[in-house]
Chain A
Amino acid sequence: MGFFIGTDVGGTFTDLWVASDDGQTRVFKSPTTADVLGGVIDAIHLAAEAWGLEFNAFCAQIERFGHGTTVGLNALLTGTAAKTAVLATRGFGDTLEIGRLRRQTSGMNETEFTDAYLRNRFAPLVDRSLVVEIDERINVNGTVVQALDEAQARSELRRLGGLGVEAVAVCTLWSTVNPVHEQRLRLLAQEEIAGVFVSLSHEISPAVGEYARMSTTAANAALGPLAGRYLAKLESTLREAGMRVPVLMMTCSGGVLPTEVLNERPAYALFSGPAGGVMGTLAIGERIGLRNLLTTDIGGTSFDVGVVADGRPIMRSEIALAGADIRVHSIDVDSIGAGGGSIASVSFGELRVGPASAGANPGPACYGRGGLRPTATDADLVLGVLDADHFIGGRMRLDRAAAERAIREQVAEPLGMTVMQAAWGIREVLDSRMADLLRRMTIERGYDPRDFALFANGGAGPSHAWVLAAELGLDSFIVPTAATAVSAFGTGNADLGFTTESPAYLRVRPGAVPPAADLVRVSDALEAAVAEVRRNLALATTASEVRIDRSVSIRFRGQTHHLDVPVAGERFDAAAFSEAAAHFERDYEQLFGRGAAFSRAGYELLSVRAAGRGMLPPPAHATRGDPPQPAGSRKVVFRDADHPVDTAIWRTVYPAAGTVIDGPAIIEFPGQSVVVPPLARATADEHGNLHVNLRGAA
């Protein structure tokens, strides 16, 4: 037997998805442990037991092991990362302090921006007393204006070593154009501080703009010692148990990589959870032939959205983390504070829902853990969407009376509504905020949401999806079989992926073609990026086939906003430039409207990027499922709060192919409830995904 495994370590639960080549697919959840590793091993034990195997026997039959973790993220957020120093160019040591003024407003939501008292929530990633300015300077052309003062650097490094520094981040101005000083500083650091972990900015985040580059390098250095130890322990534990395949880590850009590649670049895996979710959805989309996907995830505190257009996830180049701008090529997952724990309140006769959340503790009023404020989960319970006796597969009993009381006293009575009307109102406000985010992620990028399939993930996703679909004008939505563990599913299904970029600045006047020498410079940068991708993917021996996408970043001269456009050939010659410029204008007009392009401005070419994908053998496809079991009926509100509708309840773990259930119905899985409104029809496909068509059989 062979097992394909995906694991994802979240804040509360460690999820594990398994597909065996005998056609079974299962999801296991185990509480996340403080050392992270324990939760992963516990989850594997659960899986081994389910197949009646010893732990070692199970490990020996693992064909693929994907892994995602928030361990790095948490270390940075809680300040438990390695003691890290920063080496910066003389005169620019306060780059993290000044933080482009953006650090102070980072992490504020749209209701907080106007409150200056809430600014400066996050300290700089590295304290000012551990930032050292080095005598050296390179200019925009890569010319060494002031030579590196090695004696000064050595003496500072010795001092840092004496302070117990474990990691050093080096970020000097224009190292992306001429890395000679950064490279030399690495050697000096290694000579002066035994066993130090060194990150160089031009390697970790090769982009123009010293603040994000320094932040990313500092985060990477701070995580290096920690991530290295964790991954080495995970890898050795599983190897000793008999696993023959490497651990493949999910990265921000959605590809997985062997741990030896990530040891030097832990920042690449900082946001593996959301990336895994989108990759999981993408894998399902590929199996069922869909290329335009909206992936949604509703948890306790946030609503996350990713977009896949024409088979490719929409990417972003920067993410804010712990107040810092982190520049890593990442799947763009946007998020608002809207989830099951979102708190509803009334003041001045107005209803507000979120972004404040009751979280898991004390949690919604119905959890009975001391939470007294009404939340979206309380509303769902009152509306009949949730079953008090069958929440998370019956592992937790909900207090309906407490939910009703909270909604009555804090929402219904102040607004002069019935409890049902108030509960539905909470849902309506929350759902409309979610629909806003979906519109923002599509319409503002020039897409029509009606060209997309909506995927509902997370505990509360499948119960809100019917409203979101209707809001966007869609006929249907899909609940993937692994909806409650989609990130784990993604880590087990993603291909190898490595992306890198390199600055290459060209300024082109209107109507002109760049000189040949400049184009050669761009071509060389592109080739170097491609070579870097190939080198890293080659470290993963399992790759059967490697595909590389090349692209360049272009903008109109004078703008800051750029677009990435693909480059077809290997060299970037005059023809390739013209093609890229034309492509840019087409995309630009799609985004900003016909006639918006202003070619009279000329162009700036900023950087080149190479993204490699190494295909892995796909996991086995499960084929077995069970027919859902009827579990009575209850009254559920669908839009009309005064007239709840008798609704059939079904239960299943994995619906068999061809299952058809007509609405009004609720299909309860362990951990999620799929709401099928009146007139709609849910159909299970051969992989166990539920397709809910709002127009019924049509």
Chain B
Amino acid sequence: MSMSPSGAASPGAAAGAAAMNAVTFEVIRNRLVAIAEEMRIALQSVSGSPTVTEASDFFTGLFRPDGSVVSMGFQVSFQAPVSGTVIRHINASPHLKVREGDMFIGNDPFIGALHQNDVQMIGPIHAGGRVIAWAGVQAHQTDVGGMDFASWCPKAKNVFQEGIRIPCVKLLDRGELREDVLEMITTASRLPDALGLDIRAFIATINVARERIADLESRYGADLLEQAMLRMMDSSEARMRARLRELPDGVYRGTDYLEHDGHTNTLYRIAVEITKRGDSLTLDYSGSSPQAPGFINATRAGLMGGACGSILSTLAWDIQWNEGILRTATVVAPDGLICTAQFPAPVGSATVETIWVVSNATMLALNRMLAASPRYRERAQTISDGCMATFNLGGINQFGEPFGLHLMDPLAAGSGAWATRDGVDAGGPITSPVPTVADVERNEQVSPLFYLHRRLAADTGGAGRFRGGLTAEVALTLGGIERAEALVMTHGAEVPNTMGLAGGWPGSTVVQRMGHDAIREGRPHAGGRWEVFGPKPGLMEMTNRDIFSVTWQGGGGWGDPLDRDAQVVARDIERGAITTHVASVIYGVLVRDGVLSVDETTRLRAALRRQRVGDFTTDPARFLTARPIAALTDSLFVARDQRGLHVVSRAGCILASGHSRWREGAVGRTWEKLPPEYCIRLHERLAITTWYCPASGALLAVDVHERGQRAADDVIVELADLERMGNAA
């Protein structure tokens, strides 16, 4: 992926590798993919970080000497381009001499890291006297120093107040561990032993890669191995370009927001405009907010991580993940945005703040492109798990040891609905292929926690014909200790990040609360003083008489909720996914004593549709009976009559003629506050506009936008292009 802020063209395919037997290539390719997985097993076996061993916040990969990623494990896809940036930094730094047996350590977001907690190591792999590859490994470390525990410092005004920055330092010199350097690094951490154990795990992981590559090299030789690596990337690139050619050319926009920078509850925007022409993509983030004074920023490395992870997860689901896929895309973003923050901006919580939201906005735009494609519409997906709410806890644990924990449970938020099926309840993000959380018992065994519940939260899935997945929610107090220091922060408490598509609603916003003195004799009681937090209450003392309770974001919905099969809604009620009240208010479904009332439901739904738009349009000039030949979503169609091409609703009502900006013909209604049934709280600068078909009241889109503004048209395509693809399909 091109990194140029000015948007220079992508370099294109690497120099063609000489012809290589297809059988030998496939044998080596399988090995190189397997090695990234073997690195994962080594890391997970030796690491001491629960984020690595019980959750999945880490990365393993193999790289070419120029920093391009050849193969990677199935973990955080945001990390795909990161180590490559460090390799390029080494290549460009004459003082960093690369010798056999060396390993480098680094975590500087201004060189190549998503944020300082993501400590990474890379090591060259030599063969025949030259470097033929690099192995890279990274894992989130709970604490790397800084003014506050866990190195996420809400009050930080610059990066110097955050965790230690290790630019790129040789930790193993020709196989010899530099204990003095290691000591300097671990000394900066509040949890030096945990960091020390993980660095040993990194060394073991890189050694595994070296041994496996050496085996391959002794068998096939360095030349063949290098050829195979180049061909793997070319192969993924060819497959990705073929896929892009199948998708409609056009401009696709996605906008998402995050609130509160640690200092004030300011609203920040991430806006991406994706232009797809032929077999390449340009992602332009120029419309995003300027950088913030607090720790939510991302550097350009973070932006690239978010953009790459989104492309891999959304468009390359069946292509081996490597640099070849990323070569098809160019990222444009001027310096100084919230996603290209300039030194010395604080960036400590970049991964869960700006990078996460970059990925939400990018995936939203990419899925709008899939939705407009006849071939791939069925697998267009709304947004999953729009935030990673933080609950960190530190102090002295029940065993009398200093401890720090980073609760990974928030991964259990809802996944977005697809165009053809509901989102997964507690499915989590899709940018991590294999997300996991730890058992409640495991957490209670090793950490001073006592859970009151961990369960699914009803009504949190974004409403739609296909429902967003429900989020999980937890409530907990301290177990075995009296007090600890907690860090509570998130975005998405006042921003619905899990955007729906095709008329589907976003899922719930985050609700985080503290029940002060809500525990008596180890049990919750009705008294207690409940405080509802804003997005970033920050650091606080918590005692074993307090309850921390949090509900995360449900997944986005797909399509008009009034189109959801009433029997399925009745089943949702039986399973406790939707309450009876919400079923009637949002879905227009009446269930009495567990029995679906079919006639009443039909009448209620008709009344709700009419209520949305007042009187239905009957002007014959606005109707078109021709059969649709293409579609923007499964509720917006393209059809032709003697006047030309139009965007029409399912009812045949013409919304736009000659162009795709269909909102001009729809009925809009703007909400500054939503009824409680939606479980969505809006920031004071945000509003939601719902768009309806004037002839039927069908819900066509739900836009989240800044107050006093209109959401930008999100799909700009030539209708004739869609017509051509529709005819071909």
Residues of chain A whose beta carbon lies under 8 Å from any beta carbon of chain B: 90-95, 97-102, 104-105, 110-111, 113-117, 119-120, 127-129, 137, 139-140, 145-146, 173-174, 208-212, 346, 348-353, 415, 417, 424-425, 428-429, 432-433, 436, 440, 444, 505, 507, 509, 556-561, 591-593, 596, 598, 600-601, 604
Contacts and interface: CB of A to CB of B under 8 A. Distances in A.
Interface in B4-41: 22-23, 25-27, 29-31, 33-34, 37-38, 41
B441 A174 contact: yes
Given A139-B479, A350-B235, 8 more contacts: A98-B454, A101-B427, A102-B436, A350-B22, A350-B26, A351-B22, A558-B48, A558-B49
Interface in B438-495: 438-442, 444-446, 450-456, 472, 475, 479-480
B167 interface: no
B60 interface: no
A104 B196 contact: no
Contacts, number: 203
Contact of A436 (B34, B424, B446): B34
B411 A101 contact: yes
B194 interface: yes
A557 B239 CA distance: 45
B73 to A, nearest CB: 10
Given A114-B316, A114-B317, A592-B45, A211 B439 contact: yes
B158 interface: no
Contacts of B575: 127-129
24 contacts: A92-B451, A92-B454, A94-B455, A94-B456, A97-B425, A100-B439, A104-B424, A104-B427, A105-B434, A114-B316, A116-B384, A139-B479, A140-B445, A209-B441, A209-B442, A210-B440, A210-B441, A350-B25, A350-B29, A429-B30, A436-B31, A556-B48, A559-B47, A598-B196
Contacts of B436: 100-102
B661 interface: no
A94 B444 CA distance: 18
B141 interface: no
Contacts of A592: 42, 45-46, 204
B453 A349 contact: no
A99 B425 CA distance: 10
A644 B656 CA distance: 68
A101 B313 contact: no
Given A92-B455, A146-B523, A348-B238, A593 B433 contact: no
B426 interface: yes
A92 B193 contact: no
B439 A598 contact: no
A560 B54 contact: yes
Given A127-B575, A351-B26, A428-B23, A601 B193 contact: yes
A356 to B, nearest CB: 12
Contacts of B41: 444
Nearest to A415: B22
10 closest A-B pairs by CB: A91-B453, A560-B53, A558-B48, A425-B23, A115-B317, A116-B430, A209-B439, A113-B433, A561-B45, A432-B27
A174 B445 CA distance: 10
A128 B207 CA distance: 46
Given A208-B445, A601-B197, A117 B425 contact: no
B440 A117 contact: no
B560 to A, nearest CB: 22
A432 B46 contact: no
Contact of A101 (B197, B238, B437): B437
B318 interface: yes
B379 interface: yes
Contacts of B37: 110
B44 interface: yes
Contacts of B106: none
Contacts of A140: 441, 444-445, 479-480
Given A115-B317, A596-B204, A560 B472 contact: no
Contact of A558 (B42, B193, B312, B318): B193
Nearest to B435: A101
A383 to B, nearest CB: 14
A32 B30 CA distance: 36
Contacts of A95: 440, 454
Contacts of A425: 22-23
Nearest to A117: B379
Contacts of A560: 44, 50, 53-54
B72 to A, nearest CB: 10
A631 to B, nearest CB: 31
Interface string B546-561: 0000000000000000
Contacts of B574: 129
A353 B433 CA distance: 23
Nearest to A140: B444
A145 B313 CA distance: 44
B455 A119 contact: no
A349 B235 CA distance: 9
B48 A559 contact: yes
Contacts of B25: 350-351
A130 B442 CA distance: 25
Nearest to A119: B424
Nearest to B231: A350
Interface in B189-231: 193-194, 196-197, 200, 204, 207
A82 B31 CA distance: 44
A353 B27 CA distance: 10
B472 A98 contact: yes
A114 B193 contact: no
A104 B321 CA distance: 21
B317 A98 contact: no
Contacts of A105: 433-435
Contact of A117 (B26, B45, B48, B418): B418
Contacts of A596: 46, 200, 204
Contacts of A557: 48
A100 B197 CA distance: 25
Given A348-B238, A351-B22, A596-B204, A91 B454 contact: yes
A151 B366 CA distance: 54
Contact of A208 (B23, B411, B442): B442
Contact of A91 (B22, B238, B451): B451
Contacts of B197: 556, 558-559, 598, 601
Interface in B549-583: 574-576
B522 interface: yes
A129 B574 CA distance: 7
B671 interface: no
B193 A559 contact: no
Give the most central of B23, B33, B444, B576: most A CB within 10 Å: B23
A22 B44 CA distance: 54
B137 interface: no
B251 to A, nearest CB: 25
Contacts of B480: 140
Nearest to B408: A101
B381 interface: yes
B399 interface: yes
Given A119-B427, A558-B193, A210 B439 contact: yes
A212 B54 CA distance: 14
Contacts of B42: 444, 592
A618 B475 CA distance: 57
B74 interface: yes
A97 B426 contact: yes
A180 B190 CA distance: 41
Contacts of B522: 139, 145
Given A140-B445, A350-B26, A558-B194, A91 B455 contact: yes
Contacts of B22: 346, 349-351, 415, 417, 425
A517 B26 CA distance: 58
B23 A429 contact: yes
Given A101-B436, A558-B48, A591-B45, A348 B235 contact: yes
Nearest to B74: A113
Contacts of A429: 23, 26-27, 30
